[in-house]
Structure 1
Amino acid sequence: MMTKQSSNLADGSSSESWLDDACILDIDFFVKTLSGIKSKGVCADLIGSVITHYASKWLPEISSVDVAERSLTQLQEAPERVAVSWMKKRFFVEALIGVLPPEKTSIPCNFLLQLLRTANMFGVEAAFRSELEKRISRQLDEASLKELMIPSFNHTCGTLLDVDLVIRLVNGLMSLDREVVKSGAALVKVAKLVDSYLAEAAIDANLSLSEFVALAGALPSHARATNDGLYRAIDTYLKVHAGVSKQERKGLCRLIDSSKLTAEASLHAAQNERLPVRAVLEVLLSEQAKRSHRRHHPLESSEQAARCGLRREVMEIKKLKEEVVRLQSQCNAMQAQMERMTEKRKLGFFRWKKPAIIPTFAAGGGLSRSVEMNDNEDDKDEVDGLVGFRRQTPMHVRTRLLKPKTHHPKWRRSMS
């Protein structure tokens, strides 16, 4: 039967078909079957998928279901039965750790963290747990915050989370050879993961200052591209632990590199009353130095300046589009008005209207004749001038000015 299953896996068949067999419940038989698969030259990734599927099926504690609910259900059973079940699961976890392929990419890091949490829960031997921690340290940059938050199953530990475990994982990563420890994106991911973990662990009032400093200082300074996450974790710790002395606050704030704080974090730190005065002054001086550097080197831009500039350009482009639409609307309205005016002018040369009769006044104030007017504006202005002249000029002046001239003969008549 083992040979048949091994050949199926060697041919690339699904691992789930034969793992559902009842005989695989025996962990010894599973280990023998897996050894036979390895001897066939099956790739490590396939062996890793077999192990993860087998563990998630026959070890419920390793799945994503709430562990607290399962533990409460087990405690309600008989004590003898609970003890036997825990011993079986402890042996099960130790056997799984023993058959893990040595290749780094064969098993996901989150599954290894789940296996480590289960190993700590059932009290697996220290040698197996140490081996598992070494594997996790090698691929810690692939871990998620949710799986890294392993609770503390040691009754002597006062914290809810196993902070010492995370310290050992980070120290194990930094103790590896320089070829293994990546100084680029992988180390930056680990720094972000550690800062997020510190922010969550800082809520625990039982977290000591030495544990916080040990985990925050386990990474080199170049691992953090920005110190915003570290500053947030320190601010949370100071908010929860109000009894921290002034000297301890100073030592804690020395972990922050003020030159790596963004403008938002610097503004918050400058107004933070929980920080020592010296730390606030360092933040202000660092921000002033960055502004002076930007003035003297306008061509140089940081990542934050690039993001802010891109956001500003998007807003300006949006405003320009709105302005173009508004100007286009005004241009269309003006063009329509010009077309209407042009059409009226064309019709004015050939259209005749009924003349308006405007009375004029002769000398002495009487009506003498009428003036015919068209719609010409010049004629209207002339009539308005005559009416104004009529109203504003005295009677005797009007009479003299409007009196018709008498045509005298060329030769005066003789008196004789």
Structure 2
Amino acid sequence: MWDSEIESAGGRGFSNGVLTTSKHGVKTDGFEQRGQSWYVETDIPSDVLVQIGDVSFHLHKYPLLSRSGKLNRIIYESRDAELKKIVLDDIPGGPEAFELAAKFCYGIAVDLTANIISGLRCAAEYLEMTEDLEEGNLIFKTEAFLSYVVLSSWRDSIIVLKSCEKLSPWAENLQIVRRCSESIAWKACANPKGIKWQYTGKPLRVSSPKWNEMKDSSPSRNQQVPPDWWFEDVSILRIDHFVRVITAIKVKGMRYELIGAVIMYYASKWLPGLIKEGSGSGAPGDDGSNSTNSNGSGSSWKGGLHMIVAGSKEDTPTVQAKDQRMIIESLISIIPPQRDSVSCSFLLRLLRMANMLKAAPALVTELEKRVGMQFEQAQLADLLIPCYNKSETLYDVDLVQRLLEHFLVQEQSGSLSPVRQSFSDKNMYDSDQRGTNPNAKIRVARLLDSYLTEVSRDRNLSLTKFQVLAEALPESARTCNDGLYRAIDSYLKAHPTLTEHERKRLCRVMDCQKLSIDACMHAAQNERLPLRVVVQVLFSEQVKISNAISNNSLKDAGEPQYQTLISNRKTLLEGTPQSFQEGWAAAKKDINSLKFELDSVKAKYSELQNEMETLQRQFDKMAKPKQTSAWTVGWKKLSKIGKTTENNDIGSQVGNAEQTKKTPRRWRNSIS
């Protein structure tokens, strides 16, 4: 990438990369390995044995004591004057680092490289090879190589930081991790326009070009450096070192979109199954504008130097299940606080794994709040998170309820998530202005209706949970209730044992006036709905049809539209469910029976009246006109009173049945 990196470690003005000392007490031609033992090729027999694990070194005291303060102290402070064996099992870097340090003590040239420098530096510190014993000792020379060679190179800084994984806590205490992290952060935040690339102009989809090809390629003026050129390199680091690098990058002021993109890229590499197959993870949004995917291959060529560091895409690291929780918790802690730094889909998949692996509750709650900030960007497949807390339900409905609450809190505070924009080299270092999305509630309502339809098939989902989740959004969020009706119908289908009261309670969450014509026609024929809801659907549709006819004249609407409305009305009424038709037929039959009984009573009263009048006339003929007794007068009065009462009773019944103009009176039992 930089001109200095084209040169090898031997051409960087540091003694050609060879570490040696001009003073040595024992002449030797080198070291010889025999099995697990090392011997010095010299005529003088060895007088000390250094044991490190299973490897033993047969050496001489004088070269070691003249340059190692620790060995000096071990030998002279030992009670055994003739100490022949020293055990150094805790030396950082292991036998490999001690071998290099021993060669340095004997004056044998050691070729310094980025792969061995961190272990050798820690071993020198452990052996106390300071300037107090000899000028130009191992600590001084390894420290100089780190400062002037490694930290000036992107490639070497990555390699050294990677090698520090096995050197804790020595590498931390010697500030090797901090210095390498800051060096990587400084180079990652450098404007690519100011970097002279030595291997630009390559075609797309080139994987790991050879070093000679990179040196010989001529720079292209039109070739732009991709903003994610450093993703592949930093993704090979262990999670704690990756966090250190990202923290240093944040301090340098890199844009949060790029930080979020590299976090998604790292997660796709170290958390198998987190990123969907074929979905991008190298740029915010996963919208196809990113330049890297979950497999580590690039959709746009990013150069070759960092690919040499990271290796090919087959070198995907494997992580044990016990370490995945630490990775997830670390990634959650370093996600930038800004909205849209990472995609909502990524947050939901991270939340799924966090719940599955029982991550820290505080971090999970923070992650849920982050999802609530971008909830309108969520997809249905990402919301279907299984319930891992031994609940009866298949999906974690309570989790979605909390996410919805966080969204409503953010929406009420006026901080809706803006529309995502893909980053590019142009806006990578310049701030851009983003507008809020006014249709967030509507999108969330559609998403929630789809989620309710999916989870309603679970027979263990209680009616209360369904109702609470359906009523969580305000009524203004739903301009149409078709999606909610589908969810209700799906719940009724999966729960056939609901009582009539529970069905009515379930249907209260739906507004029949917001159903489309197709939904109304379906609801009118849906036998699972309560009869009252069907009547409401028919009535609301009739009102809408009447309003449409009254508000639009025949000239404006046209004859075909009027016929269509009438046809839809007939189809709607004819499509009444069988249960509704049977109920209406039973009620009509009862009305006809009452009318028939009323007619029978009227006929019987008429017959009784005729018979009474006939008896009266016969009695009048038999009685003498002049002989009127008190009994006769009383009978006539009683006859008049009974006739008047009977006429009033019959008139009252007829008036109620036929709605006559006579004033109805109080009903009482007639005289038979």
Report the TM-score range of the alignment, normalised by the length of the smaller protein.
0.5 to 0.7
Which residue does the alignment assign to 1:58? 270
| 1:298 Cα deviation after fit | 2.0
Taking the aligned partners of 1:161 and 1:215, their CA distance within structure 2 comes to 13
1:166-204 per-residue CA deviation (whole Å, 9 max, x = no partner) reads 111112212333413599411000000000001010111
Taking the aligned partners of 1:216 and 1:210, their CA distance within structure 2 comes to 10
Picking from 431, 438, 449, the partner of 1:195 is: 449
Picking from 359, 367, 373, the partner of 1:124 is: 359
Taking the aligned partners of 2:521 and 2:371, their CA distance within structure 1 comes to 38
Percent of matched pairs sharing the same residue? 45
The one-letter code of the counterpart of 1:167 is: Q
Taking the aligned partners of 1:99 and 1:283, their CA distance within structure 2 comes to 52
Taking the aligned partners of 1:228 and 1:184, their CA distance within structure 2 comes to 22
Counterparts of 1:1-80 in structure 2 under 5 Å?
A: 1-11=180-190, 18-21=230-233, 24-64=236-276
The one-letter code of the counterpart of 2:408 is: M
Q: Which shifted more, 249-258 or 166-175?
A: 166-175
Instruction: State the TM-score, normalizing by the size of structure 2.
Output: 0.41
| Contact persistence 2:188–2:230 (CA under 8 A) | no
Taking the aligned partners of 2:380 and 2:232, their CA distance within structure 1 comes to 32
Which residue does the alignment assign to 1:217? 471
Instruction: State the TM-score, normalizing by the size of structure 1.
Output: 0.64
1:265 and 2:519 matched: yes
Taking the aligned partners of 2:182 and 2:405, their CA distance within structure 1 comes to 43
| 1:210 Cα deviation after fit | 1.1
1:282-316 per-residue CA deviation (whole Å, 9 max, x = no partner) reads 11111011111111222899xxx9xx99xxxxxxx
Which residue does the alignment assign to 1:175? 409
Change (3 A) 1:215 1:298: same
| Contact persistence 1:47–1:106 (CA under 8 A) | yes
Which residue does the alignment assign to 1:145? 380
Which residue does the alignment assign to 2:59? none
Taking the aligned partners of 1:181 and 1:219, their CA distance within structure 2 comes to 15
Change (3 A) 1:285 1:198: same
| Contact persistence 1:94–1:128 (CA under 8 A) | yes
Which residue does the alignment assign to 1:135? 370
1:255-276 per-residue CA deviation (whole Å, 9 max, x = no partner) reads 1111110000001101111000
Taking the aligned partners of 2:508 and 2:489, their CA distance within structure 1 comes to 13
Change (3 A) 1:252 1:12: farther
The gaps in structure 2 that reach 5 residues or longer are 1-179, 193-225, 278-318, 418-436, 566-672
1:299-355 per-residue CA deviation (whole Å, 9 max, x = no partner) reads 899xxx9xx99xxxxxxxxxxxxxxxxxxxxxxxxxxxxxxxxxxxxxxxxxxxxxx
Which residue does the alignment assign to 2:508? 254
The one-letter code of the counterpart of 2:468 is: A
The gaps in structure 1 that reach 5 residues or longer are 66-83, 310-416
1:163 and 2:397 matched: yes
SS of alignment partner, residue 340 of structure 2 = helix
The one-letter code of the counterpart of 1:203 is: R
Counterparts of 1:375-394 in structure 2 under 5 Å?
A: none
Picking from 94, 99, 111, the partner of 2:334 is: 99
Counterparts of 1:386-405 in structure 2 under 5 Å?
A: none
- Greater helix proportion: 1
| 1:58 Cα deviation after fit | 1.0
| 1:5 Cα deviation after fit | 2.4
Q: How many correspondences in the alignment?
A: 286
| Contact persistence 2:446–2:483 (CA under 8 A) | yes
| Contact persistence 2:235–2:266 (CA under 8 A) | no
Taking the aligned partners of 1:238 and 1:274, their CA distance within structure 2 comes to 7
Counterparts of 1:351-366 in structure 2 under 5 Å?
A: none
SS of alignment partner, residue 272 of structure 1 = coil
1:85 and 2:339 matched: no
Taking the aligned partners of 1:231 and 1:114, their CA distance within structure 2 comes to 29
Change (3 A) 1:137 1:22: closer
Taking the aligned partners of 1:294 and 1:151, their CA distance within structure 2 comes to 47
Picking from 151, 154, 170, the partner of 2:389 is: 154
Taking the aligned partners of 1:105 and 1:8, their CA distance within structure 2 comes to 25
RMSD, matched Cα = 2.5
| 1:97 Cα deviation after fit | 0.5
| Contact persistence 1:44–1:106 (CA under 8 A) | yes
1:205 and 2:459 matched: yes
The one-letter code of the counterpart of 2:260 is: G
1:16-53 per-residue CA deviation (whole Å, 9 max, x = no partner) reads 65454488432111111001101111011010111000
Taking the aligned partners of 2:235 and 2:253, their CA distance within structure 1 comes to 24
Taking the aligned partners of 2:189 and 2:252, their CA distance within structure 1 comes to 7
Change (3 A) 1:21 1:279: same
SS of alignment partner, residue 354 of structure 2 = helix
Taking the aligned partners of 1:32 and 1:158, their CA distance within structure 2 comes to 42
Taking the aligned partners of 1:85 and 1:15, their CA distance within structure 2 comes to 31
| 1:213 Cα deviation after fit | 0.7
Which residue does the alignment assign to 2:607? none
Taking the aligned partners of 2:389 and 2:237, their CA distance within structure 1 comes to 30
1:213-246 per-residue CA deviation (whole Å, 9 max, x = no partner) reads 1111111111011000000000010001001111
